[in-house]
Amino acid sequence: MLSTAPAPQSILHEIFGYDQFRGPQAAIVDHVVAGGDALVLMPTGGGKSLCYQIPAIARQRAGHGVTVVVSPLIALMHDQVGALHEAGVEAEFLNSTLSGEQANAVEKRMLRGEITLLYAAPERVTTPRFLAQLDSLYERGKLSLFAIDEAHCVSQWGHDFRPEYRALTVLHERYASVPRIALTATADAITREDILERLQLENARQFISSFDRPNIRYTIVEKKDATTQLLRFIEGEHEGEAGIVYCQSRKRVEDIAQTLSGQGIRALPYHAGLDGQVRQANQDRFLREDGIVMVATIAFGMGIDKPDVRFVAHLDMPKNIEGYYQETGRAGRDGLPAAAWMAYGLQDVVNQRRMIDESPAGEEFKQVMRGKLDALLALAEATDCRRVRLLGYFGEESTPCGNCDNCLHPPDIWDGTDAARKLLSTIYRVQQQSGISFGAGHVMDILRGKKTEKVAQFGHERLTTFGIGAEFSEAQLRGVLRQLIATGALSVDGQAFNTLKLTDGSRAVLKGETAVQLRESVSAPAESRRRKSATKSRPARHQRPGCEEAGSLRGRGAARRQRVATA
C-alpha cells in the first residue's frame, strides 16, 4: 500500500546534510516525486545527481519501489554507489566488475525490494533477462523511476553518441506509467530535440539551467610552440596546482607528461593504452594528492569529481563546443577561480575537417558536424567576450564577463579578405600549371615570394601570384587558411598528404562576396605586428559557496573514492 512521500527538503537535510536546494533543484525534485517526466540540463557540478536521488528515496519510502539509474560509465556507478552507501542509502550497481554470484545477489535484493537505487549500463538494461526482472517489479508496483544519465549519448548530434542508448525507448513502451528523468550537462537545441524524440519524452517538463560557470576564465591562443606555451601557462599562472591537460593522441599524452615532469611539474599520463594498474594508480594519485597535473585523452574526466582542479588545458582543438564545454567544466567545481586554456592551430582545423569529410556518415550528419566545427572555430577566433559566445551557442543570453582573455585584453581585428583571395588564386594557378595539389606551407611560400628548393623545382616562381602576398606573415596566412578550411571554402585531401583544393565555396571568396575577419593579436600582418605586454592578473580568490546549498552528493566527502571511466 502506497503512503505519502516524505518531504524532499527533509531528505535533503537528513541524508545529504544540506539546508536548501540550489537553483532549480527543488522544482525538479517536486515534479519527479509527483510522478512527472523531466529533461534536465544542468552544468557540470550543478548537482544533477540529487535531482533523481532524492526522488528515488522519497518514492521508495512511499512504497513505489526501486529506481533504475542508466549510466554509461562503470566508474561513475562505483562513485555514486559508494557515496550513497556513505550517506546510508541502499544502492547497488550491476556491471562487468561483478562476478556472476555477486550479480545474482544484487538481482535478488532488487527483486525483494531491498534496493533504493540500482545503477546499470544501457546495454544491460535492455537485455531480455533484465527486462524480465523489471517486468516482475512493474507487475507488483515496485518499479519507481528511471533516471537516464548522460542523456546526450542518445543523440547522433551529441558529442558522445552511443547507439545502445537508442534502445532505451523500450522503457516508455513497456513501462508507460513509470516516470523518467533524463539528465545531461551539455546539449544544444538540436541535441535537446533529438533526446526528447529518441527517448519519447516529448511531453516531459524541461528544466534548463544556466550554462554559465562564472568562476572559469576562458583563454584561447594560437599555436606556435604548443608545449612551450603550455609550460609558460602552468608555471606563470598555476604553479603547484592541480590541472588536466587534454591531448588528442596517446603518444602526445606521454610526450607532454614526460616534458612537464622534466620541467619539475608533477605530471602523470592517462590513456586507454596504459596498463590498467598504472592507469588506476595515476588516477588515484591525481585524486588524493595536491598539485598533480593529469595529461590525458578525453577518456579521462567523466565520472570524476575532483573539486579543486584549477585549470583545464587543451593542446588540441576538440570536435565541438559541447565537448569543449564539458571538458573545461571539470575545472573549478569548488566554485573558486579556475582557468580554461586552449591552443589551436591550422592543423587542428585540417584534421577535424578531414575527419568529418571522410566519415562514412550521411551528408545530413556531416553538415551538422561541420556547423559545430564552425561554431567552435568562431569561438576560437572571436574578438568579443568568450563567455557571451559560449553561452549563446546554448541559446543563453549574457553580457560581457570582464574575465576572459578578450575582455581583459581586447584584440584588434583586420580584414583578411584580400589575403584570402590571393591564397585561393595561388592555389588555383598552382593546380592549373602543375596539374597537382600542394600543401599549405608550399602555397604560402609562393604567395610570400620565398624561393625555396621546391618552388624552383616546379617553376612556381613564374606564377603571377608569386610574391604578391609578401606583406602577410606566415601566422596571418595560417589564420586565413583556418577560416577558409573550416567554412568549406577550401578542402583538404587527407589521402594526398593534406594538400589543398578549391571547392564550390571558394568562388564567393574570390569574388569578394565573403569577408574574412581576423584577430590582429592572433595573426598580425608582418609589417604591423607588435608585441603587447600585459601584466598577468589572476582572479581574486573568492569564498567557496556555503555548504547549505545543495551540490552533488559526491562533493560531501566522497572524493577519495572517485573513479574515472576506462577509455
pLDDT tens track, the chain, 567 positions? 566 667 899 999 999 998 899 889 999 999 999 999 999 998 877 788 999 999 999 999 999 999 999 998 777 788 889 889 999 999 999 988 889 999 999 999 999 999 999 999 899 999 999 999 999 999 999 999 999 998 888 887 665 677 788 889 999 999 999 999 999 887 778 888 889 998 999 999 999 888 899 999 999 998 989 999 999 999 999 999 999 999 988 999 999 999 999 999 999 999 988 887 898 899 889 988 999 999 998 767 655 678 899 999 999 999 888 889 989 988 998 889 999 999 998 888 888 888 888 888 888 888 888 888 888 988 988 888 999 999 988 888 899 999 999 999 998 888 899 999 999 999 999 988 888 889 889 999 999 999 999 999 999 999 999 999 999 988 889 888 887 887 778 887 755 556 888 988 899 999 988 888 877 754 444 444 433 433 334 444 333 333 334 554 444 333 333 333 322
Q: Which CATH class is domain 345-381+410-531?
A: mainly alpha
C-alpha cell at 353: 575537417
Separation in Å, CA 257 to CA 250, 261, 263, 275, 292: 11, 6, 10, 16, 11
How many residues does the structure list for the chain?
Answer: 567
The residues pairing with 243 across neighbouring beta strands, listed in sequence order, are 293, 311
- Whether 336 and 45 have beta carbons less than 8 Å apart is answered as no
* Superfamily of structural domain 214-344+534-567: P-loop containing nucleotide triphosphate hydrolases (3.40.50.300)
Q: Which residues does 467 contact at the CB level (< 8 Å), separation at least 6?
A: 447, 448, 449
Domain with CATH 1.10.10.10 in the chain: 345-381+410-531
What is the predicted pLDDT for the residue at 244?
A: 96
What is the predicted pLDDT for the residue at 301?
A: 63
What is the predicted pLDDT for the residue at 553?
A: 42
Helices then strands, counting H and E runs in the chain, come out as 22, 17
What is the predicted pLDDT for the residue at 483?
A: 79
d(CA 43, CA 333): 10
Annotation: CATH topology of 8-210? Rossmann fold (3.40.50)
Q: Which residues does 269 contact at the CB level (< 8 Å), separation at least 6?
A: 253, 254, 257, 282, 295, 296
What pTM was estimated for this model as a whole?
A: 0.73
Give the pairing of strands 311-314 and 143-148: unpaired
Separation in Å, CA 451 to CA 178, 216, 443, 500: 73, 47, 12, 20
What is the predicted pLDDT for the residue at 160?
A: 66
What is the predicted pLDDT for the residue at 111?
A: 95
C-alpha cell at 430: 598552382
Domain with CATH 3.40.50.300 in the chain: 8-210, 214-344+534-567
Q: Which residues does 501 contact at the CB level (< 8 Å), separation at least 6?
A: 427, 431, 437, 490, 491, 492, 493
What is the predicted pLDDT for the residue at 87?
A: 92
- Whether 257 and 263 have beta carbons less than 8 Å apart is answered as no
State how far Cα 380 lies from the chain centre: 15
State how far Cα 416 lies from the chain centre: 31
